[in-house]
Amino acid sequence: PRDLSEQIKEVTKESHVRAENTELMLSFQRGQVTLPQYKLLLCSLYEIYQVLEEEMDRNSNHPAVAPIYFPAELARIKSIEKDLEYFYGPDWREKIVVPAATQRYSHRLRQIGKENPEFLVAHAYTRYLGDLSGGQVLGRIAQKSMGLKSGEGLSFFAFPGVSSPNLFKQLYRSRMNSVELTAEERNGVLEEAVRAFEFNIQVFDGLQKMLSVAGNRQRQSSTDSNAVHGKTLQIPGTF
């Protein structure tokens, strides 16, 4: 396939299957997602989208970013903030907890925003098209699993600026295909998309591990914590 949208789907196909089969995503699909799981996921999404959207904004005039820049339709950060406030209360900012894997992901986003903005398309594709695809089903499942009232704490999954996710995905793909890339840049984008999936898988595994550690600790009634509090804290051995 010659179109970037087809190539990117093809090269990430296997990664998508692996992402779907992470413990966290399986919990979602089985309708067994728990509040602690979802809250931790929101914390990581906050870290990820904050950097992704900052870098998209900063590079919005870059020729490889401009065609796929849809802040009104896609931007998630306000929705995530709303959900975090719903679950953690007004001082949610002090309660954000993210695994090291999430910091590696956001660090990479920051780096490519500065050094290779043309790779942002790979990351935007991986997150936003995923949110507009399987994410739509997962939102409804999450609501049921956690017994939440209509949409409460679930703004992340709602795209009020997108009336038809399928039509929007078509538009998005055609915009991706309009981006002019050298052969080398295109290969870089494809590689970065596989990496983007890998980062997501690591995030899911990381927060799942955090939950099992927290659960074990609770059972042992230990006060020690393996979780990293606050996004400014560095984890030794991260990079």
Cβ atoms of 133 and 165 within 8 Å: the answer is yes
Q: How far is the CB of 222 from ligand HEM (least distance, A)?
A: 32
**Rounded to 10 degrees, what is the CA torsion of 150, 156, 157, 159?**
100
Q: Give the CA dihedral 203, 192, 50, 212, nearest 10 degrees.
A: 0
Q: CB of residue 70 vs ligand HEM: minimum separation in angstroms? A: 15
Task: Decide whether 39 or 127 has the Cβ nearer to ligand HEM.
Answer: 127
Q: Are 62 and 107 in contact (CB under 8 A)?
A: no
Does residue 197 bind ligand HEM (CB under 6 A)?
Answer: yes
Q: Does 126 contact ligand HEM by CB under 6 A?
A: yes
CA distance 45 to 40: 9
Q: Which residue is nearest to ligand HEM (CB)?
A: 134
In the complex, the smallest distance separating the C-beta of residue 156 from ligand HEM, rounded to whole angstroms, is 13
Which of these ranges, 74-82, 131-139, 221-229, 231-239, lies near ligand HEM under the rule CB under 6 A?
131-139
Query: By CB under 6 A, which span of 54-62, 80-88, 99-107, 126-134 interacts with ligand HEM?
Result: 126-134
Instruction: Kindly state whether residue 28 participates in binding ligand HEM, applying the rule CB under 6 A.
Output: yes
Looking from the CA of 211 toward its CB, the CA atoms found within 13 Å total 17
Nearest to 4 by CA among 233, 221, 191, 155: 191
20 is an interface residue for ligand HEM by CB under 6 A: yes
Residues interacting with ligand HEM, by CB under 6 A? 9, 16, 19-20, 25, 28-29, 125-126, 129-130, 133-134, 138, 197, 200
